[in-house]
Amino acid sequence: MKNRILLILILSSFHHLQAQTKADQAKNPIRVIVFGAHPDDCDLGAGGIASIYASLGHKVKFVSLTNGDKGHQDIGGGELSNIRLKEAKEAARRWGIEYDVLDNHDGELLPTLENRMSVIRLIREWNADMVIAPRTNDYHPDHRNTGVLVQDAAYLVIVPNILSSVPPLTKNPVFLYFRDRFQRPNPFRPDIAIDITAVLAKKVDGLDAHVSQFYEWLPWTSQDLANVPKDKTERKKWLLAAMEKRSAVTPEIKVSLDKWYGKELGDKINQVEVFEICEYGKQPTTEEIRQLFPMLPRN
């Protein structure tokens, strides 16, 4: 009887703590803003963690710096940009996040002063704790220039006389890079590895909203369009299989997983999203990284 009462008290305390934690998060949510060049780039790089943050009551905004009006083999211009905007908003709805798509032409993004100010404004208005973007070594000029624009904003977001119409941040956010495969001039460094095994299907559910990309354009560019299933359920399974390969753990990533999760837990993780810390923003301590990524286990 005493053991039963003790168990009830422990469970009651746990549920109270869990409720208090959610209440604290609602008052002081972590605010993450993610930049991509096209309306599906953020989704590929951070769709998993976005769904986790949203489920925990934190705030995530995805921003595409172009409207994606060139990324299709049969459709283009205003018709395509409208389709891609609707797809982005639907992905955001499925994950419980926000999504902005700027009206720059696909394939024409440049690191202009105007675009830099747009990025600074968005980071400030979001009051970001963390900013994620692509690195500047990439096959696509829009991706590279997105990286340049975010890097150029990394210090200026705290400078009062830059874009003085929008109050500067009082602290510099942590800036991170997406995972990529490019080796020159330097390979991606997996500083932070996050387990998305349990939410991979949720990530794919958001990617599935981008019909024009994952089931049409991207397979066409890789000469794989004939292998995309016509049935909606089957094509989603096909996309899940592709994402399992894309988010697989490499030996380098396993080292990072063991650092953050410990070897025992790290051995059980199959799917990850991985990030490199940019040198230009706040340089977080290990404890600050754990605070920014509350899905990581606490020591």
- Of the pLDDT bands very low, low, confident and very high (cuts 50, 70, 90), residue 20 is very low
Residue range 133-158: mean pLDDT, rounded: 97
Please enumerate in sequence order all residues whose Cβ is within 8 A of that of 268, keeping only pairs 6 or more positions apart, or say none.
none
Domain membership of residue 14 (yes or no) is: no
Specify the number of domains making up the chain.
1
Domain membership of residue 11 (yes or no) is: no
Distance between CA 273 and CA 46 in Å, rounded? 7
Percent of the chain scored above 90 by pLDDT?
A: 90
Tokens 């890079």 correspond to: 177
pLDDT tens string 194-237: 999 999 999 999 999 999 999 999 999 999 999 999 999 999 99
Distance between CA 198 and CA 96 in Å, rounded? 17
- Check residue 14 and give its pLDDT: 37
Domain membership of residue 5 (yes or no) is: no
| Domain range enclosing 52 | 29-291
- Check residue 245 and give its pLDDT: 97
Helices (H), the chain: 2-27, 41-55, 77-95, 113-126, 141-156, 200-207, 211-212, 218-221, 232-246, 251-261, 263-266, 286-292
Distance between CA 295 and CA 227 in Å, rounded? 36
Q: Give the CATH number for residue 118.
A: 3.40.50.10320
Domain membership of residue 116 (yes or no) is: yes
Lowest mean pLDDT, pick from 22-31, 62-71, 78-87: 22-31
Domain membership of residue 79 (yes or no) is: yes
What amino acid is encoded at 291 in this protein? Q
